[in-house]
Structure 1
């Protein structure tokens, strides 16, 4: 049975996404932090890691992108997982004044929280917030998590579908020590930093236009080493082993200070 590390407690959305991706029975290994998730696979304690990288409502998960820069693991897959947030607790809706959850979930349910004038308290995980309020055992405390977490920890759902927008999906990446083979419907993710020269970013992006390669995402993140310097995270269609893509990456590398191929992998449905 394959082992997959994820951040949070049993019942977390990351665990649900991992089960959906592999579509078979897996052994889920909960970890306290994203860094521990990746380290467990690096140390051969798990076969795969799963990381949330962006949400359709709240945008990118910065910590995950920063760790992708550092890890030696390869991205071998992606999945877009529907997030269905529930208000979970032992009290009634009009009793609740304090709500616990992961910062991403709190942001995704901001309108609901403001509507009921609730105080929000960030926690390390959505499913973990169910454990917290169960231990606190106060009817005026509730949390935001999945229906699955409600069942696992035996705390009832007070209200379903409380996100700002019900079309709420999170993109997760699957990482491994191995690499993914070409499928003909692939996507490649890279990171690079650019030279401080006029037109340097333009010259890199121009390569995609010349080769008629479709860019699906581009985002900048601070390098955290020098002020006002950035790494660029780019996703595009194609596999790094394609001759055209391989040649394009060589030309891009010549224009960068640093470039890393995170991996080529089958593009998920819904991207």
Structure 2
């Protein structure tokens, strides 16, 4: 017992030093904030965040895991930014939605979060400066692209300034027993991601689409013999029991989110770029539009198409690739692309995310 007490005293002393050092760090942050205001610099700087996390990873010799270190510093940085200027972060969906969780994972608990009922509202609020940044889903590894987000990117003036990758775990929530469930509510994408599990474990149970998984949780909390597929945060919010966890069909089920802002980050040396373009209607046009990237050895990570909605069978193409659009190889590829396209728009270059929340 004596050794236990000694260790606890040492831990208390270390905690005192940690508090002193964090406050010393914050005093420097306040001074940085004053300089930023004078020079009209952005408060949140994605490229600085990436460099800081990379440096911390190199300094960490354990036993603390990289995930634990990043989680701790996420909140330290969130508190630091709030001292400079409390950020207003808009996100698509209600509280406890997966987009809300992704935003929390990116900006921490010291930001102010503003739920938005539509993806278009997130875009318009960033444009109108009613919020500092917006978070919207762009693609899921199981169900594919989020078409509404793609459509909004075509004409919006916002810039993609960061990306978030989050592992999506779905849970069956209810107040009744599993054998009593007659209806299951959730968002269409979520139901699709759990289709096989539902067929195997809830045969004959009616599935009903909801505008969000959080709204589904509220319905399940009010309607007898109903269940929802949603997050653990929604279970806490609506006092539902977790009947089954991790029920997604794909264990690696991951959703990618975009952070929308009004300014583009600088190059970091490990970036990603998103573009949108329209090609002339001719044989081999799409193939030809991809050749410049192959010739310049630029790695493509996503390609999607959407109808232009101006003319039948006319499409916009969305492309993601490794590198910043100001890097030499992507720059050359984009120059060639512009020569053959009616329209090319750089949606944003931003630090490439290698983490999965």
TM norm structure 2: 0.72
Cα distance in 2 between the residues matched to 1:163 and 1:229? 35
Higher strand share: 1
Deviates more, 1:199-208 or 1:28-37: 199-208
Deviations 1:94-150 (A, max 9, x none): 11121111111010011122221221111111112112222x331x11111000111
What do you get for the CA RMSD once the two structures are aligned?
1.5
Cα distance in 2 between the residues matched to 1:181 and 1:34? 26
Cα distance in 2 between the residues matched to 1:228 and 1:11? 39
1:131 aligns to what? 218
Match of 1:183 among 254, 268, 282: 268
2:306 aligns to what? 221
Q: Return the offset for 1:225.
A: 2.0
Q: Return the offset for 1:23.
A: 4.2
TM norm structure 1: 0.94
Contact 2:95 2:115 (8 Å CA) reproduced: yes
Contact 1:5 1:37 (8 Å CA) reproduced: yes
Q: Return the offset for 1:152.
A: 1.8
Q: Considering Cα pairs closer than 8 Å and 6+ residues apart, tell me whether 1 or 2 has the greater RCO.
A: 1
Cα distance in 1 between the residues matched to 2:181 and 2:162? 40
Structure showing greater radius of gyration is 2
Higher helix share: 2
Name stretches of at least 5 consecutive residues in structure 1 with no aligned partner: none
Instruction: Give the count of matched residue pairs.
Output: 269
Contact 1:49 1:174 (8 Å CA) reproduced: yes
Matches within 5 A, 1:225-240: 225-240=310-325
- The secondary structure found in structure 2 opposite 1:221 is strand
Cα distance in 2 between the residues matched to 1:194 and 1:141? 49
- The secondary structure found in structure 2 opposite 1:217 is strand
Matches within 5 A, 1:46-125: 46-115=131-200, 116=202, 117-125=204-212
Match of 2:246 among 145, 157, 161: 161
